[in-house]
């Protein structure tokens, strides 16, 4: 098989890239190790930044989002049993909070690309990158039925997430990486219950962080801070609800609505940046290059931002034989990525409890929250990051 851009991974990064390139008349082929059913059914992120929403409309994939998404004017911060509303629309000059699940974004993009005749190979195995330092890189893989195949291309986009092979194709001695591991985990559930509140609630409590989000009028998404090494078997439904009630409920009588828990799981948290986002003709984008803890709702949006920059760089290359965009790809992305890393670290630190950090830091985190809800300047700073910095 021959194409212009070989894309590894059909997550948000790979699918948005393929769509953006198609609009510029650039051909791509996507290789994905999981099945279509798996990628369309994996529950992950939920919040889209305003410009991501606008981009989906521009690309003609915003119809279901308009119908099924949830558009909130703000978020609620909760601590010491009290609620504080942050009005994002007012603080940012009109930008909203959109809750539209990642797997729905994936479904919309896959359907759109396939309808345009795109090649997406699902269920591939043994994906290997070759000759990325030359002008003729290639990817070898085994098709779902086991037959070996080669994808020859001008460029490779490594959109294969944190554990994919693309980053590893850059020699370790040439990779500049930064990492922070947090002592927090998130236990996430889906429950068949009506919404308890009209917007997201981020709660700090002495027992740990809790987050109320939504998926549909019938299904709600909730998270609680736990030990990242916890076994999900130790978390009975009754224990999960008990923690959620204690951490989320207010002194003025707001109550959480329960329902049957239909899915539960634990994720660990890290911050990670590989600054070497380009190596020869290989580009890393999204989780392949960087990870954030989920508290700031930034992961998916950062992935889309990378491929927007990459699509513009490749357009310059193909339309005008101009390599300047390619050469500045990493620097352009990193300037914004580090701000996303900072915001995710800030939200995570401020909202989680860490006994090892000690009583002084506990008070500082509370003071940080008090400051955000009492200062318009501080609230504006949080809001403009939450709805998405300029791209």
Site string for ligand DHB, 202-221 (x = CB under 6 A): ---------x-x-------x
> Does the annotation mark 96 as catalytic?
no
Q: How far is the CB of 176 from ligand FAD (least distance, A)?
A: 19
**Residues 48, 142 contacting (CB under 8 angstroms):** no
Nearest distance from C-beta of residue 293 to ligand DHB, angstroms: 8
Subset of residues 221 to 260 that bind ligand DHB, contact rule: CB under 6 A: 221
Stretch that binds ligand DHB, among 144-152, 246-254, 291-299, 367-375 (CB under 6 A): 291-299
Q: Is 344 in the site for ligand DHB (CB under 6 A)?
A: no
Residue 294 known to be catalytic: yes
In this structure, are residues 183 and 228 in contact, taking their beta carbons and an 8 Å threshold?
yes
Give min distance, CB of 358 to ligand FAD, in A.
28
For the chain, give the secondary structure using H, E and C.
Answer: CECCEEEECCCHHHHHHHHHHHHCCCCEEEECCCCHHHHHHCCCCCEECHHHHHHHHHCCCCHHHHHHCEEECEEEEEECCEEEEEEHHHHHCCCCEEECCHHHHHHHHHHHHHHCCCEEECCCEEEEEECCCCCCCEEEEECCCCCEEEEECCEEEECCCCCCCCHHHCCHHHCCEEEEEEEEEEEEEEEECCCCCCCCEEEECCCCCEEEEECCCCEEEEEEEECCCCCHHHCCHHHHHHHHHHHHCCCCCCCCCCCCEEEEEEEEEEEEEECCCEECCEEECHHHCEECCHHHCCHHHHHHHHHHHHHHHHHHHHHHCCCHHHHCHHHHHHHHHHHHHHHHHHHHHHHCCCHHHHHHHHHHHHHHHHHHHHCHHHHHHHHHHHCCCCC
Determine if 11 is a binding residue for ligand FAD (CB under 6 A): yes
| CA–centroid distance for 119 within its chain | 24
Per-residue x/- marks for ligand FAD, 215-254, CB under 6 A? ----------------------------------------
Instruction: Compute the least distance from the CB of residue 85 to ligand DHB, in Å.
Output: 16
Residue 260 a catalytic site member: no
**Residue 11 touches ligand DHB, criterion: CB under 6 A:** no
Q: Is 72 a catalytic residue?
A: yes
User: What is the footprint of ligand FAD within residues 247-286 (CB under 6 A)?
Assistant: 267, 286
Binding mask 122-161 for ligand FAD (x = CB under 6 A): --x--x-------------------------------xxx
* Region from 9-17, 76-84, 110-118, 201-209 binding ligand FAD, contact rule CB under 6 A: 9-17
- Annotated active-site residue 100? The verdict is no
The residue count for binding ligand FAD (CB under 6 A) is 32
Closer to ligand FAD by Cβ: residue 44 or 84: 44
Residue number with the smallest Cβ distance to ligand DHB:
46
For ligand DHB, the binding residues (CB under 6 A) are 45-47, 99, 200, 211, 213, 221, 294-295, 297
- The residues that touch ligand FAD, with contacts defined as CB under 6 A, are 8-14, 31-34, 39, 44-46, 102, 124, 127, 159-161, 164-165, 267, 286-287, 294, 297-300, 303
């Amino acid at each position: 098989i021959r194409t212009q851009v070989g894309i590894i991974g059909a997550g948000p990064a790979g699918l948005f890239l393929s769509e953006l390139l198609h609009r510029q008349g650039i051909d791509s082929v996507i290789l994905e190790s999981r099945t279509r059913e798996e990628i369309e059914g994996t529950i992950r992120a939920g919040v889209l930044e305003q410009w991501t929403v606008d981009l989906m409309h521009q690309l003609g994939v915003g119809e279901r989002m308009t119908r099924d998404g949830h558009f909130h004017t703000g978020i609620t911060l909760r601590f010491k049993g009290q609620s504080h509303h942050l009005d994002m629309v007012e603080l940012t000059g009109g930008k909203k909070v959109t809750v539209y699940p990642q797997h729905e974004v994936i479904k919309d993009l896959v359907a759109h690309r396939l309808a345009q005749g795109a090649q997406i190979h699902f269920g591939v195995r043994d994906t290997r990158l070759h000759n990325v330092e030359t002008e003729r890189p290639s990817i070898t893989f085994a098709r779902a039925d086991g037959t070996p195949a080669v994808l020859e291309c001008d460029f490779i986009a490594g959109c294969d997430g944190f554990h994919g092979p693309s980053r590893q194709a850059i020699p370790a001695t040439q990779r500049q990486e930064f990492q922070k591991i947090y002592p927090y985990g998130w236990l996430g559930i889906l429950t068949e219950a009506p919404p308890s509140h009209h917007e997201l609630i981020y709660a700090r409590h002495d027992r740990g962080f809790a987050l109320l989000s939504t998926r549909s009028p019938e299904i709600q998404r909730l998270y609680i801070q736990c030990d990242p090494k916890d076994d999900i078997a130790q978390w009975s439904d009754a224990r999960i609800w008990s923690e959620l009630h204690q951490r989320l409920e207010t002194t003025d009588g707001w109550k959480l609505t329960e329902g049957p828990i239909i899915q539960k799981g634990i994720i660990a948290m890290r911050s990670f940046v590989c600054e070497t986002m380009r190596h020869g003709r290989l580009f890393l984008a999204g989780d392949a290059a960087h990870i954030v803890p989920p508290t700031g709702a930034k992961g998916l949006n950062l992935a889309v931002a990378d491929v927007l920059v990459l699509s513009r760089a490749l357009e310059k290359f193909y339309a005008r034989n101009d390599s300047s965009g390619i050469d500045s790809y990493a620097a352009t992305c990193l300037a914004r990525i580090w701000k996303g890393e900072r915001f995710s670290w800030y939200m995570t630190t401020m909202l989680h409890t860490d006994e090892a950090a000690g009583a002084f830091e506990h008070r500082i985190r509370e003071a940080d929250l008090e400051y955000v809800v009492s200062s318009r300047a501080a609230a504006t700073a949080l809001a403009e990051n939450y709805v998405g910095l300029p791209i």
